[in-house]
Amino acid sequence: MDLTLVAEGLQFPEGPIAMADGSVLLVEIQRQTLTRITPDGTRTTVADLPGGPNGAAIGPDGAVYVTNNGGSFQFYDMGGLNVPGPTPDSHKGGSIQRVDLSTGAVTTLYEACDGKRLVGPNDLVFDRHGGFWFTDHGCSTPDGRRYGALYYAKTDGSRIVRARDHLISPNGVGLSPAEDVVYVADTMLGRLWAFDVAAPGELVPPAPLQPGRVVCNLPGYQLLDSLAVEADGRVCVATIINGGITAFSPDGATQHVAVPDVITTNLCFGGADMQDVWITASGTGKLWRGRWERPGLKLNFGA
């Protein structure tokens, strides 16, 4: 895939959203901002989001909803590559936030579920009903890993449910075209999970001893990050170490497209035919644009 550089000098970009005016909204986790990138690469700050803004999506009211990990990892320069590291001792937990695009005002919607603090919210996707699924990545500690989970919530702050817990490192999340499956990429396992949806915020009970269905486990040492779904149901997941995008068919077949960054973290589709793709290359702080060979799935509440 031929790639065009849109912007560079970004501080660990993630959560890209293709806007109708040709700009891209994204978060810069290390800079702690929601940022707008125009087609000529100009960067402007939409809102300051202290902690660690990690994922972003347009909601039914036109606002941007952000999964903020609360600063769940530090950053290190490894020979010019910006690498996220261990969770700092100061980390207390993350939140779900709403950003008004017209004013930049930030509202915190959720910090806990059933009295248990959110650890490191990571990514989110809205269903057609206006609610959203989101992942909590958990975090690493000197004594081991704190588990993550898959949640569902409403935008008015009235409902948040933990739909599946004790997941190792849930990251990217997306819905099938029929919205009967929610996909979750597990970073450390290199695994794409599929969870069957019974109703908004409710999953079909899993088989004994199984959190969900395994679509595919990548071979060797490959890490999975955020994702976007294609119109035909393939799931495209940003892939770390083997830097690029891995497209998973529902039957487990894979296709890998290389990106010049071993820490490729996310992508989004847009354009008139939904075949324009924007990719966040976070280790090098770049936003790339290319043409995907198939159209992406149009999100429920795009710009």
Pick the catalytic residue from 123, 136, 225, 276.
Answer: 225
Please check if 171 is assigned to a binding site: yes
Q: Which residue reads 């017209």 in tokens?
A: 102
Tokens describing residue 153: 């919530």
Which residues, other chains included, contact 268 with Cβ-Cβ below 8 Å and sequence gap of 6+?
Answer: 16, 17, 18, 24, 228, 277, 278, 296
Angle ∠(102,34,186) on CA atoms, nearest 5: 130
Per-residue three-class SS string for 130-169 = CCEEEEECCEEECCEEECEEEEEECCCCCCEEEEEEEECC
| Structural contact between residues 59 and 300, judged by C-beta atoms closer than 8 angstroms | no
> Does residue 300 have a known ligand-binding role?
no
2 labelled catalytic: no
Per DSSP, the three-state class of 124 is: strand
Binding site annotation covers 69? no
Tokens 């090098």 found at:
284
Contact present, 45 and 53 (Cβ < 8 Å): no
Q: Which residues are within 8 A (CB) of 61 and not within 5 positions of it... i.e. 6 or more apart?
A: 155
Dihedral angle over CA of 283, 87, 49, 135, nearest 10:
90
- Gap between the Cα atoms of 206 and 169, Å rounded: 19
Residues making up the annotated binding site for a divalent metal cation are: 171, 225
Residues making up the annotated binding site are: 122, 171, 225
Residues tagged active-site = 225
